[in-house]
Amino acid sequence: MDDKIKMIALVLGGFFITFLISIVIFWIILSPGQQRAVQMAEVGTPQVESPMELSGGRALARAREERVPGGEVLAFADVLGESIPLEVEVHGYDWATWGMGVDEVLSHLREDGVQSPESFSPENSDFTSVVALNPDPKRFKIEYRFYNDMLFHIEVFYSDFLKNTTFNAFLLSKMSEYGRPYEQYATVDEMGKVILHAKWDTEESLIELVSRPNGFYSLFISSQLTLIRLEDARKSEERLTF
């Protein structure tokens, strides 16, 4: 009886040892592939750059990754002691206010010493533009736009006098006037250069600050009320047309 038990134990032990050896051999053979799979899972699938991220698009992607300059302005505004107004009333730019007529703006420009401001009005149009070139050392052009002889849009183009002024510093100066911008973002021009934008939306006006390469700044200000009226007129015309 004892001999039979010993025989059964030896047979079972042999099967168990053989099973263990098979598992070890199987693991040795497959482990390199499994290791590679684990490594791939840990590393992840390589990302392929989209066409937008090539050439100029890469500059935009980098700008977004590093955060658009100007986003930290509020942080150091407190350090500099700059007061950022919360509710701002913007009725135009400098002395020019919404609703002024063409003759009134021209007269004011001449009083300021602007040489030969020019006015333009397309035929059969309700729009007129007045352009002042080099009104002062900091600005090389200001354009005033009118609808039905009422000022509603102003474009200010700053000269290279400010080319050494950083975007953060310029934005901070505008925040002291207009408050905190509701949007900041970057775009890329056809040369792959990053252009920075900041926008404000007050009750009376829409404002956009644009920073172009080499430190050239532009400011665009529009009357909210006139824009709404123009949009309503456009929609009415579309309904009549169709």
**Domain co-membership, 82 together with 13:** no
**Domain co-membership, 21 together with 141:** no
Q: What is the end-to-end Cα distance of the chain in Å, rounded?
A: 106
For 97, phi then psi, to 5°, come to -120, 155
**Domain co-membership, 35 together with 83:** no
**Domain co-membership, 213 together with 142:** yes
**Domain co-membership, 41 together with 154:** no
What's the total number of domains in the chain? 2
Q: How far is Cα 177 from Cα 90, in angstroms, rounded to an integer?
A: 9
pTM here?
A: 0.67
Q: Is residue 51 part of a domain?
A: no
**Domain co-membership, 94 together with 35:** no
**Domain co-membership, 18 together with 128:** no
H-helix or E-strand spanning residue 22: helix 2-43
Give the domain extent around 89.
56-241
Q: Is residue 177 part of a domain?
A: yes
pLDDT at 42: 42
**Domain co-membership, 28 together with 60:** no
Residues 81-115 as b or e (16 or more Cβ within 10 Å = b) = eeebeeebebebbeebebebebeebbebbeeeebe
**Domain co-membership, 24 together with 92:** no
Q: How far is Cα 102 from Cα 55, in angstroms, rounded to an integer?
A: 45
pLDDT at 7: 62
**Domain co-membership, 20 together with 93:** no
pLDDT at 54 over 50: no
Q: Is residue 106 part of a domain?
A: yes
Q: Would you place residue 149 in the very low, low, confident or very high pLDDT band (cuts 50, 70, 90)?
A: very high
Confirm if 199 and 182 have CB atoms less than 8 A apart: yes
**Average pLDDT for the chain:** 76
